[in-house]
Each structure stands twice: as structure tokens, then as C-alpha cells.
Amino acid sequence: MPRITVIELYRYRYWTEKLGFDREWIIQSSQADLYSTLQKLFSKNDGLLIPLRYDYYLGLSNTISKRKHEEIFTAISTSTPVQVRMVSIAHEYPSTAQLLATYYLATSTKNFIYIEGKEDPTVVLHIDIDNITRLTYETSIYETYTLTMKFFTEVANIAYRYGGLAGYLGGDNIIAILPLNSYKKFIDSLPDYVKIGIGISYKPRKAMELATKALDEIRRERKKRFIEYRDVSSIQE
């Protein structure tokens, strides 16, 4: 079961409203700084962070111990102007893990919750749209941006249908996290005009590295729609 860690910046909106009317540049700068801090905290422990709404973040944290999660929680708490809450759950379906995390955040008074569970490999898919650069120059930057946002919404909905989650990485890059038992069905549901790099590892950062390696190979060779790399030969399908 992949381990999903949800981070909440509690009562974030109330903090932003105290900044006055000329606040948006402060909010955007603060969000960028915090995302950088959080990404480094997770990545140095072989995890990976995905921004959701910037008042919520999704961490992929397989192989990170409870003690390390507590250290990350403490570090985050000293880096934000608001109270931080964290829930970490291992579950076969990432979509269910975040549902459970949402429930705990809504019903518990605890700021840190770590639920033990068997951890399976993380399946990361790095997805992009074929020939996006050419399309950008044939249409416009804004039109391809809106196309990418529409495509991301479609991918996110398909991923959720198969028990997974998706995040937007910038440009035309999308990350999806799927269960081992359904990622191939997810791929079959995507349109033909996308390229998909697949990485599978117990360590989320490694899975992302392998997925990116696979995607770069597809871009270079232009022969396959998707390529998969695994770093653990004993992983069973």
C-alpha cells in the first residue's frame, strides 16, 4: 500500500485576510517559499511532494519512518505563519488514503496522525502531451495553457476512478499515482496523443526519477507511447 501524507495549513484563509488588501503578492511569494521548503524536506527523505491547493499538500512518503514524519511535521510547523496538521496513511488506493486523511482532519483534534500499515511500491506516471511545443507556436501560449488545464482535469478524474490521484507539475507535465493493480487500466483509458513514463519503486523519489527517465527516452526515441522502469525486481503485478 502506498503511503499518502496530507498536510493542512489550518485556517489559512484567516491568515491571508489579515494581510490587508495589497496581499496577493505576499501570498504568492509565501506559497512559493513554503512549497520549496516542503519539497526539500520530503525529497531528502526519498519522498515527493505534490501541491494541491497550496493550503493542502500531498506527500508520497513510503519508506519514511514515523519519527522522520514527526521531524518533517516539526520543521513545517516552524516554517509557516499558521498551524500545521498532518495525517499519514498507508492504503492500497491513494484516493481512499486521502479520503481517510480528510476525515481525520475534519473530526480529530490531533495535529499529527500517523497510521501504521504495510507499504507497497509507489507507482508514478509522468505524463505529457505530444508535440505541445509545436502546438504552442501554431496557436498561442494561453490556448495551450487552457488545453493543458482541461487535459489535467480529465487525467485527474480518470486516475481517481482507478483509485489514484494526479497533480499538475507545470508546463504540460502531469504526475499520477496509481495502485499496482490498476495503473495499466489507467494507461489504456488515456488518449493516444500523450506520452507516459512509468516508474515503480518503494521510494517515491526513485519512482519519480524512473518515470522521468522513461519519459525522456520516449521523447528521444519517438517510438513508444509508454515505457516502464522498475528498481525492485521482486515487485509482483
Contact, 166 vs 159, CB < 8 A?
yes
What number is the average pLDDT over the span 26-40? 94
Contact, 121 vs 180, CB < 8 A?
yes
Closest C-alpha among 137, 100, 122, 117 to residue 42: 122
Distance CA 226, CA 39 (A): 27
pLDDT of the residue at 163: 97
Percent of the chain past pLDDT 70, that is, above it, reads 97
DSSP symbol at 80: S
pTM: 0.91
CATH architecture assignment, domain 3-115? 2-Layer Sandwich (3.30)
Does the structural domain 122-230 have CATH classification 3.30.360.10?
no
pLDDT of the residue at 79: 87
In the chain, list all ranges with CATH 3.30.70.270.
122-230
Tell me the CA distances in angstroms from 191 to 71, 135, 139, 186, 194, one per residue in order.
41, 17, 21, 11, 6
In the chain, list all ranges with CATH 3.30.70.1230.
3-115
What number is the average pLDDT over the span 205-224? 93
DSSP bridge pairs for 6: 58, 87
For the record, the C-alpha cell of 220 comes out as 528521444
Q: What is the pLDDT of residues 161-204, one digit of tens each?
A: 999 999 999 999 999 999 999 999 999 999 988 999 999 999 99
Q: What is the pLDDT of residues 100-111, one digit of tens each?
A: 999 999 999 999
Tell me the CA distances in angstroms from 159 to 97, 124, 236, one per residue in order.
14, 11, 21
Helical pair 66-77 and 24-43, crossing angle rounded to 10 deg: 160
Percent of the chain past pLDDT 90, that is, above it, reads 85
Strands, sheet with 83-90, edge to edge from the N-terminal-most edge strand: 48-51, 56-60, 3-10, 83-90, 112-115
For the record, the C-alpha cell of 231 comes out as 528498481
At 94, is the pLDDT very low, low, confident or very high (cuts 50, 70, 90)? very high
Average pLDDT, the chain: 93
